[in-house]
């Protein structure tokens, strides 16, 4: 099974950018649809973005469309989330997730089988 490890979080001012990375190991990355989710304090974990196995298809939460970009490098076993024009409401722990049961670029966290430990993103106003 695949193991996931997020990195790249930190503190940034509103309007700034961060790039999160999800390094994978233990299995071939191209076998998995990949997703990013976030969880703000006191709130449930929510969908942010997802990408198909080959990278051709993507989907985003409405709140991040036009600001965030998900991408993957299957050869280097890494998935990325480029976050631009960050807002204080983007503050959350960001999780990388993987699923290989379907080809669907899913928004439902219940469809994802494997999860990383998360990386904190804090956006100051």
- 55-74 burial, b for 16+ CB within 10 Å, e for fewer? eeeebbbeebeeebbbebeb
Tens digits of per-residue pLDDT, 20-68? 999 999 999 999 999 999 999 999 999 999 999 999 999 999 999 999 9
pLDDT of residue 67: 98
pLDDT of residue 79: 98
How many Å apart are CA 103 and CA 18, to the nearest integer? 28
Q: State the chain's mean pLDDT as an integer.
A: 97
Name the one residue in this structure whose structure tokens are 């196995």.
Answer: 53
Q: How many CB atoms lie within 10 A of CB 32?
A: 25
Nearest partner of 97 among 42, 41, 49, judged by Cα? 49
The SS3 of residue 111 is helix
Query: In percent, how much of the chain has pLDDT > 70?
Result: 100
pLDDT of residue 69: 98
Task: Let me know the angle formed at the C-alpha of 27 by 104 and 83, rounded to the nearest 5 degrees.
Answer: 60
pLDDT of residue 6: 98
Nearest partner of 96 among 33, 34, 18, 8, judged by Cα? 34
């Amino acid at each position: 099974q695949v193991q996931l490890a997020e990195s790249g979080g930190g503190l940034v001012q509103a309007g700034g950018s961060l790039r999160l990375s999800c390094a994978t190991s233990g299995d071939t990355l191209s076998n998995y649809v990949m997703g990013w989710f976030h969880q703000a304090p006191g709130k449930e974990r929510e969908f942010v973005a997802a990408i198909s196995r080959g990278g051709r298809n993507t989907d985003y939460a409405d709140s991040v469309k036009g600001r965030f970009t998900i991408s993957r490098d299957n050869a280097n076993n890494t998935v990325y989330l480029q976050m631009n024009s960050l807002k204080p409401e983007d503050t959350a722990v960001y999780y990388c997730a993987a699923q290989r049961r379907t080809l669907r670029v899913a928004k439902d966290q219940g469809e994802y089988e494997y999860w990383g430990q998360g990386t904190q993103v804090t956006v100051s106003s």
